[in-house]
Chains A and B, each alone.
Chain A
């Protein structure tokens, strides 16, 4: 009797549980779609906010965090009228009271386009002000904590109380978020192939003391887009020209900056971006160094007189071909005058 009684009670309990679970499953089905849609809408709005110039966002898996505690949740290439303009990356990392989730936008010119803090669990009134749209770290300019990162260069120091304004009484929060922003921005820069470095034409034309834009841009060889042409002068005399150009490479684009002296010698090159898979490894100074001193007009071939970067032979070839085209075009332009 006792056994059947227990059995009966168990059955009743199980019945309630099953009814409960089935009911919940229905509600979950109904709400999960709304939740997913809303999260997607929030994400799109956030991406748009950190990268206002972009017209669409394309998922990418190339952004890799270098810090195991800072996790990249989702990464997008920001697409605008001129192609890839940069990245917008959603990531989270530890802060004072738990993880902080944010979106960082990085433009291909090596600056942060914006930062939006999505979630922050720090102390209300102190650390939580990081996500408060009406809390200003600079009251005069109405700059929020996250807002101050917009326009910041990746080469900046990212030190709180030095080049980053802190939230009052929340130094730890300020530091943690700054560190997350910097890590994510660097990772984005690596994926974009810009490595966070500056693009100063002087780097490839060290002899010049002033750089001015060229009167007419360089004539673009077939398949190459010229982004910038500049003339380097020293004491008023022209010592060389610098051009930044972009072309298709293995499965992405490569952008190089090439400096050519008046005698047709390559004074320096720099691979500015390379969006090939594994392409960022050709951004090293070692790869660029081997072009210094070569004469424009002589053939440059990977494998014979140019060493490829291990693991990125195709990208090396693409970049070398582009360097050659640009150097030749520059030498021609120098000879013809009119820059």
Chain B
């Protein structure tokens, strides 16, 4: 049980897909103009991630290594379509406002990355918790981004007026440049927090490598 919780926590914090591994960035900024969209996207991705990880993990012995990529693609695409159809049926407004970013979950690097790196080698239960951890790790970052953007850019949270009526919304924050800025600042905050924790643990040596280097060989795309 403790081991599963560790796997879960790994995705949630230690290897957070957005802040630490830096994959799956596209949708994180595009849909975070409102908190509702942020949560919707987070749940949608978590669904696809968990289902794909569980199915692929269950069938991992029946997937020949040489054609594993196309099979992963088919499985992920199938679950993305299911999620897309269900959203159209039950949350049409949310589905409309997220537009093309819903089908793009299929090429979200997080899903492909975790399926390839984790669930194609690990048992079902572990994969389930990895999917949940990673999915929720993604969701809370979206939540953090969208809270700042909706509050400053529109003066509301989940559609409810929060700021006093004298507050003139700073539209900048819900425009694309605002998305980049808020992400940049959250990431800087996360990095310096991590740096402090690491420093207090006297793990000075891996400070630079763990948080501040880019994958120069483009592994992020490959994932």
- Please determine if A and B sit in direct contact within the complex, based on CB atoms under 8 angstroms apart: yes
A interface, CB within 8 angstroms of B: 9, 12-13, 16-17, 20, 23-24, 27-28, 31-32, 34-35, 38-39, 42, 119, 121, 123-126, 169
For residue A22, give the distance in angstroms from its CB to the closest CB of chain B: 10
A16→B74 contact, CB < 8 A: yes
A24→B81 contact, CB < 8 A: yes
Choose one: A17, A24, A32, A38; the contact of B82 (CB below 8 Å).
A24
Does B66 count as interface, using CB distance less than 8 angstroms?
yes
Which residues of chain A have C-beta atoms less than 8 A from B89's C-beta? 31, 34-35, 38
Which residues of chain A have C-beta atoms less than 8 A from B75's C-beta? 16, 20
B92→A42 contact, CB < 8 A: yes
A94 to B154, CA, bound (A): 26
Which residues of chain A have C-beta atoms less than 8 A from B153's C-beta? 125
Give A27's nearest chain B residue, CB to CB: B82
For residue A302, give the distance in angstroms from its CB to the closest CB of chain B: 53
What are 16 pairs between A and B in contact, CB < 8 Å?
A12-B63, A12-B64, A13-B67, A13-B70, A16-B74, A16-B75, A20-B75, A27-B81, A31-B89, A35-B85, A35-B88, A35-B92, A38-B92, A125-B153, A125-B171, A169-B171
B interface, CB within 8 angstroms of A: 33, 62-64, 66-67, 70-71, 74-75, 77-78, 81-82, 85-86, 88-90, 92, 96, 99, 153-154, 169, 171, 174-175
A123 to B175, CA, bound (A): 8
A121→B99 contact, CB < 8 A: yes
For residue A23, give the distance in angstroms from its CB to the closest CB of chain B: 6
B171→A126 contact, CB < 8 A: yes
Q: Is the interface of A mostly helix, strand, loop or mixed?
A: helix
For residue A20, give the distance in angstroms from its CB to the closest CB of chain B: 4
Give B87's nearest chain A residue, CB to CB: A31
B78→A20 contact, CB < 8 A: yes
B78→A23 contact, CB < 8 A: yes
Choose one: A31, A35, A125; the contact of B175 (CB below 8 Å).
A125
Choose one: B67, B78, B154, B169; the contact of A24 (CB below 8 Å).
B78
A12→B67 contact, CB < 8 A: yes
A316 to B85, CA, bound (A): 52
- Between B62, B81, B99, the greatest number of chain A beta carbons within 10 A of the residue's beta carbon is seen for B81
Choose one: A23, A31, A42, A126; the contact of B86 (CB below 8 Å).
A31
B154→A125 contact, CB < 8 A: yes
| A34 touching B90 in the complex, CB below 8 Å, given contacts A20-B77, A24-B82 | yes
B77→A124 contact, CB < 8 A: no
Give B96's nearest chain A residue, CB to CB: A119
A13→B88 contact, CB < 8 A: no
Give B172's nearest chain A residue, CB to CB: A125
